[in-house]
């Protein structure tokens, strides 16, 4: 425990050394001024708009220096620091990543064997994949319901109109997917990654198609089946608990919404081979993926960061070039349409964070730990900053089999099934 001077943490000698090294690694940053405040005073680097970081415990310094983003996130969860604007802090650090990486390369080199060992132990074999998914998605349906929209859609929304709330925006996204694939009553759709059933409910309920959807999260499967039963769609929607590698059958269309991030680089070929194998020769696939900037893909795939360490064990973001390469090498699928939705994810995360803050006291009363909630708060800040800075993005692919024809990718459909609401051109969102 640090001594305190006028309420501020006074770092120990070791912590002061770590602070000095941390400030040295940040000395070349541009586009903003970072001010670290502790019991020794104010310590600033950079020029421009000021971002103030209040260090409440000197343990922050070695955590940030040695563990980098995972240590910064852990320190935030522990209450060791606060910030006037955590999102802008993330943006500033992302903007200066090349500068920072030059200084931190020796540290990363020293820790690389430990990172590689942890990543290897969390690789997404069939056994480990279930364990990794359990660590994230089986945290309790009540927790996710606290910050998601009423439809329980845990992926990027699409804000088409200025007055769209989160529920409207998620409905926009689901409708966009259905229309891009030209879904109708004659289609049998496979969904890899059920979530809590929002896409299956929307597609079957509004477009009349049959949906087979699979998840390896037990908690998700239970709630998805219940929601489908309550909607009266059990005759049109089947929920499986199968790994994508074990799926069988032949489907007209395939949908995978932000599931590829949990596949892992060594398993990208198996994932895309499975998608291609499961589609009929006339079939089409909609893939929504969070992607990393191509220039950072190889570095990120080899190193552990905050999200891999504390939020999504086993996860790794592909890049657009990596997806293109894996599709070309492992499938006969062809790219028919590609759409960038990155700005919409920043807005989605803003809504999720606001909902989490609104539910904070109720979640604590229900037994959620403050440290746990602060970890998730930092997760939202970290991701939003990454999307705003375009360090990461989100895209929708339409991939088609060679014999696929007739998809009217950018046209709103007439009412092909009760409940379908025609919307404006897709490209306007």
Q: Which residues are catalytic?
A: 383
Helix axes 60-67, 69-77, angle to 10 degrees: 150
Q: How far apart are CA 358 and CA 211, in angstroms?
A: 34
Q: With helix as H, strand as E and coil as C, how does 301-321 read? A: HHCCCHHHHHHCCCCCCCCHH
Q: CA distances (Å), 44 to each of 8, 21, 56, in order?
A: 17, 13, 17
Q: Are residues 286 and 180 in contact, defined by beta-carbon separation less than 8 angstroms?
A: yes
Q: How far apart are CA 76 and CA 395, in angstroms?
A: 30
Q: How many Cα atoms sit within 13 Å of 237 on the Cβ side? A: 30
Give kind and range of the element (H or E) at residue 248: none
How is residue 33 annotated by DSSP?
Answer: E
Q: How far apart are CA 429 and CA 212, in angstroms?
A: 28
**Residue 167, token pair as written in the block:** 């529920």
Q: How far apart are CA 55 and CA 128, in angstroms?
A: 37
Q: How far apart are CA 34 and CA 44, in angstroms?
A: 6
Q: How far apart are CA 86 and CA 349, in angstroms?
A: 13
Alpha-helix runs per DSSP H in 34-96: 60-67, 69-77, 86-95
Question: Facing residues of 11 across strands?
Answer: none
Question: Nearest-CA neighbor of 180 among 341, 414, 422, 396?
Answer: 396
């Amino acid at each position: 425990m640090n001594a305190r001077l006028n309420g501020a943490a006074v770092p120990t000698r070791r912590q002061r050394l770590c602070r000095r090294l941390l400030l040295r690694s940040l000395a070349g940053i541009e586009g903003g001024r970072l001010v670290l405040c502790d019991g020794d005073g104010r310590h600033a680097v950079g020029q421009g708009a000021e971002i103030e970081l209040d260090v409440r415990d000197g343990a922050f310094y070695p955590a940030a220096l040695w563990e980098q983003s995972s240590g910064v996130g852990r320190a935030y969860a522990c209450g060791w620091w606060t910030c006037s604007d955590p999102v802008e802090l993330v943006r500033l650090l992302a903007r200066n990543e090349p500068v920072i990486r030059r200084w931190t390369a020796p540290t990363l080199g020293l820790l690389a064997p430990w990172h590689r060992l942890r990543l290897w132990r969390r690789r997404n074999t069939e056994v480990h994949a279930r364990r990794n998914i359990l660590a994230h998605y089986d945290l309790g349906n009540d927790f996710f319901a606290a910050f998601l929209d009423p439809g329980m859609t845990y992926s990027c929304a699409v804000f088409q109109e200025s007055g769209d709330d989160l529920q409207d925006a998620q409905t926009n996204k689901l409708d966009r997917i259905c229309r891009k694939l030209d879904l109708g009553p004659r289609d049998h759709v496979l969904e890899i990654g059920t979530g809590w059933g929002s896409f299956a409910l929307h597609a079957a309920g509004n477009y009349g198609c049959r949906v087979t959807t699979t998840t390896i999260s037990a908690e998700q499967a239970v709630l998805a089946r219940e929601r489908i039963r309550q909607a009266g769609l059990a005759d049109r929607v089947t929920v499986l608990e199968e790994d994508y590698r074990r799926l069988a059958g032949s489907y007209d269309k395939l949908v995978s919404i932000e599931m590829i991030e949990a596949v892992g680089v060594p398993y990208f070929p198996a994932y895309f081979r499975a998608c291609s194998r499961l589609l009929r020769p006339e079939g089409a696939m909609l893939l929504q993926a969070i992607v990393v900037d191509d220039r950072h893909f190889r570095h990120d795939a080899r190193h552990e960061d905050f999200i891999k360490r504390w939020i999504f064990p086993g996860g790794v973001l592909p890049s657009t070039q990596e997806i293109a390469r894996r599709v070309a090498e492992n499938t006969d699928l062809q790219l028919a349409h590609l759409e960038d939705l990155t700005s919409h994810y920043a807005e989605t995360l803003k809504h999720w964070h606001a909902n989490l803050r609104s539910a904070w006291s109720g979640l604590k009363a229900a037994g959620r730990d403050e440290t746990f909630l602060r970890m998730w708060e930092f997760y939202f800040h970290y991701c939003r900053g990454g999307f705003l800075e375009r360090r990461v993005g989100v895209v929708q692919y339409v991939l088609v089999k060679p014999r696929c024809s007739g998809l009217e990718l950018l046209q709103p459909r007439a009412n092909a099934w009760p409940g379908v609401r025609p919307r404006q051109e897709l490209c306007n969102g």
